Structure 1
């Protein structure tokens, strides 16, 4: 990453604007990470369960849920920003 993008994610970390990312989790199957965080906030073996939880959290926070595939590529996005 570039210094500019590193600063972008650092500024968003744990803010109301931080987006929820559904990513693979080696221990549990799938997890939710907020931008700027290294830790998973929620994990489950079922991707569909994690996606639904991420969408709910993003909608409640007025931000986005970004769904990644097994390789980390963005698969879909759900925008709840107003």
Structure 2
């Protein structure tokens, strides 16, 4: 689950705002890379504290003033951390909790939906933005159909 300035793990509540915002930013990136929340939180906290110790006052002030919109924009840049996923199609696959949208080769799904149609809509949206394909799978894993957006953004 992505975090923001109003919704974050309780272990971050006693950090100063710059360190907390940086930890949220790092933890969200780690979740995108497939880390488990229980591992991402302490690693992100440690890295944020280290960043704070080495950051300039300007960087610290900028991170203090970062708003939720900026944190969301950083989260939307998840593929910056795994650029190879940017060129890979989005897949809609059966998941224990419904239907998952997941980039080919990603360790974890981007999102999980109760409804397959919602997952398909999200996969198409992501694929169109990335200029890749949305591959829809049946419950048994076979490909049901594909939507190609490979030339729409290039």
- When normalised by structure 1's length, the TM-score is 0.79
Residue aligning to 2:23: none
Native 8 Å contact 2:127 2:149 kept in 1:
yes
Residue aligning to 1:48: 117
Query: Greater RCO between the two (CA within 8 Å, min separation 6)?
Result: 1
Residue aligning to 2:19: none
What is the correspondence of 1:1-82 to structure 2 with a 5 Å cutoff?
14-26=84-96, 28-82=97-151
CA RMSD of aligned residues (A): 1.6
Native 8 Å contact 1:14 1:37 kept in 2:
no
Which runs of at least 4 in structure 1 moved beyond 3 Å after TM superposition? none
Native 8 Å contact 1:14 1:36 kept in 2:
no
Cα distance in structure 2, aligned partners of 1:73 and 1:38: 19
Q: Which structure's residues are more often strand, by fraction? A: 1
Q: Which structure's residues are more often helix, by fraction? A: 2
The structure that has the greater radius of gyration is: 2
Cα distance in structure 2, aligned partners of 1:44 and 1:55: 14
5+ residue gaps, structure 2, are 1-82
- When normalised by structure 2's length, the TM-score is 0.43
Instruction: Give the deviation of 1:33 after TM superposition.
Output: 1.1
- How many matched pairs? 70
5+ residue gaps, structure 1, are 1-12
